[in-house]
Amino acid sequence: MTSPHDEPVALSMDAGGDTPYGFDPDALRAKYRAERERRIRPEGQGQYRRPDGEFGYFAEDPHADPEFTREPLTDRVEVLIIGGGFGGLLAGARLRQNGVESVRIIEKGGDFGGTWYWNRYPGIHCDIEAYIYLPLLEEVGYVPEWKYAPGDEIRRHACAIGHRFDLYRDVCFQTGVTGLRWDERESEWEVATDRGDLIRARHVIVSTGTFTEAKLPGIPGIETFRGHTFHTSRWDYAYTGGDADGNLHRLADKRVALIGTGATGVQVVPHLGADAQRLYVFQRTPSSVGVRGQRRTDPDWAASLTPGWQRRRMDNFLRLVTGNPVDEDLVADGWTSTARLHSKVIPNNGFADLPPEEREHLYEIADFEQMNEIRDRVAAVVEDPATAEALKPWYRFMCKRPAFSDLYLQTFNRPNVTLVDTSDTHGVERITEQGLVVGGVEYEVDCIVFATGYEVGASGVLTGRLPIHGRDGVALLDHWKDGPRTLHGFYSHGFPNLFQLAPIQNSTAANFVHALDERAQHVAEVIAAAHQRGIRRVEPSAQAEEAWVRTIREKAADLHAFQAECTPGYYNNEGRPRARSESYGDGPVAFHALLRDWRANGGLDDVLAPHHRTNGHHG
Ligand code: NDP
C-alpha cells in the first residue's frame, strides 16, 4: 500500500477506557470529523465533469448497432413511456394488466434494462436480494438462480418482462426524447425525439432513471492521458477480454488503474486484481464492506413457494427496514440486520418508539458498533497493516451506500494489487500522458477505469435536458422554480396527463424497484380509470398540489444534522446537504398505504374532473 498518511489509529473495540461500550464515542466522533475534513472539497459537485465534448465517447453505447436507422414516426399512442428500465417496464406491465393496450416505450439503449443494460462490468451483481429485487417474478414465472443476481440475469429478466407483457411490439430503442409540448386543443402531448419523430400521446410517463448520467472526475490533465480509458457503465470488453464473469485475459500484460471504490469499484476490483498484470486502486474514501453471503437458490425452497410469495417477501423486507412490525425476517441479510441505521437516509416513522434524544443516542452507539465490526473485519482479512488501516471507513454507516463482498478486501492481499490512498490529496492529483500522480509519485499505467459514479438523480426533467412545456407553453422548470410542486410526486397542475416515476416528493426504499412498482401501479390505475371513464385529461388542482407540497414540508425529516457530519458523497451533496428532504417523512409503507387509500376513497374523482370528459368541451 502506498499512502502519504499512515498514522497509527488507536480506536479499536478495546480502546474504550472507562466507557460502558468497549469503545470511546468521543474519540470516534473526533476521528470521523477529522476524516471528513480531509476529504471536503470546496468545489462540491463542481469537481466533476460530464462525459461530453471530447469525452463524449465515454457515453457511447457499446452494445447497440451504431448503423441503426429507421423512418421517423408521426403517429399517435395512448400512453408513451420514456425509459425502458424497470420503472418504464413496470409502468408498461401494469398498464397492460389494467387493460390499456396502446403503449409505446422510448428508450435510449438498444434493449430493455436501463441501468442493467448499460452496466455490464465484471462482477456486476445486485446486492439487494434477487427474490425481492427482480420485479414481476411470479407473473413471468421465474425464480432467480442466486440469492444475489448477476447483472446479466437481471437484464435478461427485464427483457422477459418486455416479452411477457408484449412491450417489444411498439418500442423505439436507440431513441432519445428531446422535448414534450402540450397541445391544449387536442389534450395530447407532442413528443419530439432525436430520430426526428413527432409522436402524439394522450399520456406520457417519465421514468428516465437515477444512474443515467455517468460522471468523470475533473482531474487536471485528464485529457492528456495517452492510454486507454472507459467508465464502468460502458465496460470495454474488446480491450479487457472476458465477460461479466471475469476472465479478463487481455489484461494479462496490462497495468491498470481503477479510480473509485464505491459499490461499483468493490465489485470490479476482484476481477481486475485476478487478471491484470498490475492493478492500482486509487481510493479517496473507503466503502464499508459487509459480508455478502451469496448462495445458490435451493430448488426445494423454490418448489415450495406459494402464490403471492414475492409480494409477501417484498413487503416483509420493506416493513422490516423501515421499522414496522413483522413476525419474521424472510430476507435475513446485511440490510435487514442493520435496518435501524437506514432510517438515516430514508426517513420513516417506524423507528419512532423512543424520545428523540434517546433514540439518537442509541442509533449512534449502534452505528459505532456496526462500523467497528466492519473495521475489525478489514483488519482480520487484509494482511498488510498499512493497507488495512487505509481501507477502514471512518464515518457513520449510512453516510455512504454500504457495499457487500466476500472477495474485495481479500484482493488487496495479492502481490500484483496496490492500494493508493488519495485522501490527503482530495483524490488523484493529476493525470499525465502515461499515468496518475498522487503525493508526488507517478504511477504509469496502460489503462484507467473510471468507477466514479453518476450525477445521481439528475433526471432530464430536473436538469432541463428534457424540456417540458405544459399548458400555455409554461416550462415545467419555471413552474418548479422554487422546488418541485406535485401531487404525490406524480403530476403537476398545468401539465395534464404527465406522470413522473422519479423519487420526487414521494417515498423511496432500499429496494428501489419495490418503490418504483408501487408508483407504476398507481399511475397505471389512474390512467386506466381515465381511459375507462372516457376522460381525456388527468390533472391535479392547484389546491391539491399545494396541499401535497405542504404535507411534504411539514413531515420532512431533518436529515440535515446527520448529513452535515457525514463524509462527502452523493448522499449529502458532496458535504453540502440540502436544506430539506423532499421525501414523504412517514416513509414508504405509509406512503403506499396513502396511495391505495386515495384510490379507494374518491381521490381519482379529483384528478379526473368531469369537465375533462372526451365528449365534453375542454374546460
Ligand atoms: P459512487 O458515486 O458511489 O462512487 C464513486 C467513487 O469514485 C467514490 O469512491 C469516489 O470517492 C471516487 N472518486 C470520485 N472522484 C474521485 C477522484 N477525483 N479521485 C479519486 N476517487 C474519486 O459510484 P458507484 O458507481 O460506485 O455507485 C453508484 C451507485 O450505484 C451506488 O451508490 C449504488 O446505489 C448503485 N450500485 C448498486 C449496486 C447494487 O448492488 N445494487 C452495485 C453498484 C452500484 P469518494 O467516495 O471519496 O467521493
Q: Domain tally for the chain?
A: 2
Q: Which atom of ligand 1 is nearest to the CA of 569?
A: 48
Tell me the CA–centroid distance for residue 411 and ligand 1, in Å.
18
Mean pLDDT of 118-142: 97
Tell me the CA–centroid distance for residue 404 and ligand 1, in Å.
14
Residues with CB under 6 A from ligand 1: 39, 125-128, 211, 217, 219, 259-265, 267, 282, 284-285, 401, 422, 427-428, 451-454, 569-570
Residue 546 and residue 436 in one domain? no
Tell me the CA–centroid distance for residue 452 and ligand 1, in Å.
5
Mutating to test ligand 1, I would choose from 118, 128, 152, 452 the residue with most ligand atoms within 8 A of its C-beta, which is 452
pLDDT score recorded for residue 51: 81
Q: What is the pLDDT of residues 290-325, one digit of tens each?
A: 999 899 999 999 999 999 999 999 999 999 999 888
Please provide the average confidence, as pLDDT, over all residues in the chain. 91
pLDDT score recorded for residue 562: 84
Mutating to test ligand 1, I would choose from 284, 292, 438 the residue with most ligand atoms within 8 A of its C-beta, which is 284
pLDDT score recorded for residue 13: 43
Domain assignment of residue 3, yes or no: no
CA–CA separation, 357 vs 388, rounded Å?
A: 35
* % of the chain exceeding 90 in pLDDT: 75
Where a domain ends, among 405, 422, 450?
450
Residue 258 and residue 116 in one domain? no
Are the CB atoms for 228 and 446 separated by under 8 Å? Answer: yes
Among the ranges given (49-58, 108-117, 268-277), the one the predictor scored with the smallest mean pLDDT: 49-58
> What are 283's strand-pairing partners?
421
Tell me the CA–centroid distance for residue 258 and ligand 1, in Å.
12
Residue 195 and residue 223 in one domain? no
Pairing of strands 441-444, 430-431: unpaired
Domain assignment of residue 10, yes or no: no
pLDDT score recorded for residue 612: 52
Where a domain ends, among 423, 450, 477?
450
Mean pLDDT of 185-212: 95
Residue 478 and residue 598 in one domain? yes
Residue 413 and residue 533 in one domain? no
pLDDT at 6 over 80: no
pLDDT at 174 over 90: yes
Residue 159 and residue 99 in one domain? yes
Tell me the CA–centroid distance for residue 31 and ligand 1, in Å.
22
Indicate which CATH number applies to the domain containing 286: 3.50.50.60
pLDDT at 86 over 90: yes
Residue 139 and residue 177 in one domain? yes
pLDDT score recorded for residue 593: 97
Q: Please give the model's pTM, rounded to 2 decimal places.
A: 0.93
Cα Rg, the chain, nearest whole Å? 25
The C-alpha angle with vertex 590 and arms to 586 and 594, in degrees rounded to 5, equals: 120
Tell me the CA–centroid distance for residue 263 and ligand 1, in Å.
6
Tell me the CA–centroid distance for residue 121 and ligand 1, in Å.
14
Residue 192 and residue 268 in one domain? no
pLDDT score recorded for residue 164: 98
What is the identity of the amino acid at 586?
Answer: D
Residues 6+ apart with CB under 8 A from 314: 132, 511, 514
Domain assignment of residue 15, yes or no: no
pLDDT score recorded for residue 173: 98
Nearest CA to ligand 1 atom 22: 260
List the domain range (segments joined by +) for residue 125: 76-213+456-554+587-612
Local structure of residue 73 (DSSP, 8 states): P
CA–CA separation, 613 vs 597, rounded Å?
A: 24
Are the CB atoms for 538 and 527 separated by under 8 Å? Answer: yes
